[in-house]
A and B are shown apart, each in its own frame.
Chain A
């Protein structure tokens, strides 16, 4: 199990309160995200659509890698990795 840092956007404090930066222990990115949802079930609908994919404008980074570039979320985690949820911003 790797201890990793998860960072959440401030707008999701509506669900997670002040715990927007937390440490979880998980073997994979998918397992880390599932831990978040077990703790805050309401997060599932905010992060994922009905088909189970990340919502269109939600970005998830594993360190510097967007999950959109990955074939799946079954990515092994290493000690000290950072998982970041971001709101995709476009336009001006």
Chain B
């Protein structure tokens, strides 16, 4: 295996982009699982990997691999009960929290696996919310797309569009809305605790109660597990955007702001990754090596990633199928000489 493997999940299949640890030249493999959307990929907690696929025709599934190349579909993936009234449209996020693997899905819900993705059961406490009947989909669907964990998996956060952030302090049995300080997008008269449109969440691995939130209504941070969110947009050209990632060694945040929810294009037609080295207090653009010509592709919520090398690599996949990479924590960038289908997710895996 190469030292660094970047899994590029697209609307038409999965690609592997591989390099040695210097990450100066890359080799592209794929497409794997041709014709299937790759919607999330991550570690399975047992030394291998899990990947979620979806099809507008054939539904979705979970696959496991030990080498990124050979994938086996698990036989009993996440599935709502026939009587639930819910439909499983897509698996948005696979997250290993140690003892369990979670899948955040559309229609919004969570599933958990005790055996690294082989079998799944629904986390019923989330969809048992009294407000569930009023949950309203965002433009991308009614999706549970972000999941964070702390306290050994006892404390969980889930981000649902366009409902908001819920937190569980009992391993998923019960959940409470945690959105104070964030403006709503669709207030609900019966359930004022919903109507928020979180786009992505990322967590400080040294303090699980510090979370950054790219929301429909702006960029926010909490330092108390979601009890209170504060707006942090100093230096950003717009508060709107989708991905937010955190590089722990240099404690750098990366984001990709877009011009308003109405237009959803890069501000002024410039591809600019923004970063913050002070926990979100201030932001600045990164442009060295990024195209200066007009650029109107965007970056979806799961299409930005960092690796664990030193210095860290940063990877940005666009809706136009371009992959931009940096091997120096964003100081300089290059475009991979390949054009993929629309990129849905990017994850980077480096050998220890």
Asked if B57 and A42 sit within 8 Å, CB to CB, the answer is: no
| A58 interfacial by beta-carbon distance below 8 Å | yes
Asked if B57 and A57 sit within 8 Å, CB to CB, the answer is: yes
Contacts of A15 in B (CB 8 A): 61, 73
Contacts of A45 in B (CB 8 A): 59-61, 77, 79, 88
| B56 interfacial by beta-carbon distance below 8 Å | yes
Nearest CB of chain A from residue B12's CB, rounded to whole Å? 11
Q: Given A14-B73, A41-B75, A42-B74, A49–B87 Cβ distance below 8 Å?
A: yes
Q: Which of B24-44 contact A (CB under 8 A)?
A: 33-36
Give the contacting residue for B57; candidates A50, A51, A58; CB below 8 A.
A58
Asked if A11 and B58 sit within 8 Å, CB to CB, the answer is: yes
Contacts of A42 in B (CB 8 A): 61, 73-75, 77
Interface string of B34-73 (1 = CB under 8 A from A): 1110000000000000000101111111010000000001
| B206 interfacial by beta-carbon distance below 8 Å | no
Contacts of A41 in B (CB 8 A): 75-76
| A21 interfacial by beta-carbon distance below 8 Å | no
Asked if A14 and B82 sit within 8 Å, CB to CB, the answer is: no
Q: Can you name the residue of chain B whose Cβ is closest to the Cβ of A15?
A: B73
Main secondary structure of the interface of B (DSSP, over half): loop
- Residue among B60, B75, B76 with the highest chain A CB neighbour number at 10 A: B75
Separation of A88 and B82 alpha carbons in the complex (Å) = 24
Q: Given A11-B58, A55-B59, A50–B33 Cβ distance below 8 Å?
A: no
Q: Which of A22-61 contact B (CB under 8 A)?
A: 41-42, 45-47, 49-52, 55, 57-58
Asked if B87 and A87 sit within 8 Å, CB to CB, the answer is: no
Separation of A47 and B80 alpha carbons in the complex (Å) = 15
Given A15-B73, A42-B61, A55-B59, 20 further pairs, Cβ under 8 A: A10-B35, A11-B34, A11-B35, A14-B33, A14-B36, A14-B53, A42-B77, A45-B77, A45-B79, A45-B88, A46-B59, A46-B61, A47-B58, A50-B80, A50-B81, A50-B86, A52-B82, A58-B58, A87-B57, A87-B58
User: What are 28 A-B contacts defined by CB distance under 8 Å?
Assistant: A10-B35, A11-B35, A11-B36, A11-B55, A11-B57, A12-B58, A14-B36, A14-B61, A15-B61, A15-B73, A41-B76, A42-B61, A45-B61, A45-B77, A45-B79, A45-B88, A46-B59, A49-B59, A49-B87, A50-B80, A50-B81, A50-B82, A50-B84, A50-B88, A55-B58, A57-B56, A87-B58, A88-B57
Query: A-B pairs with the 7 shortest C-beta distances?
Result: A46-B58, A41-B75, A57-B57, A11-B35, A42-B73, A87-B57, A45-B59
Residues of A within 8 A of B (CB): 10-12, 14-15, 41-42, 45-47, 49-52, 55, 57-58, 87-88
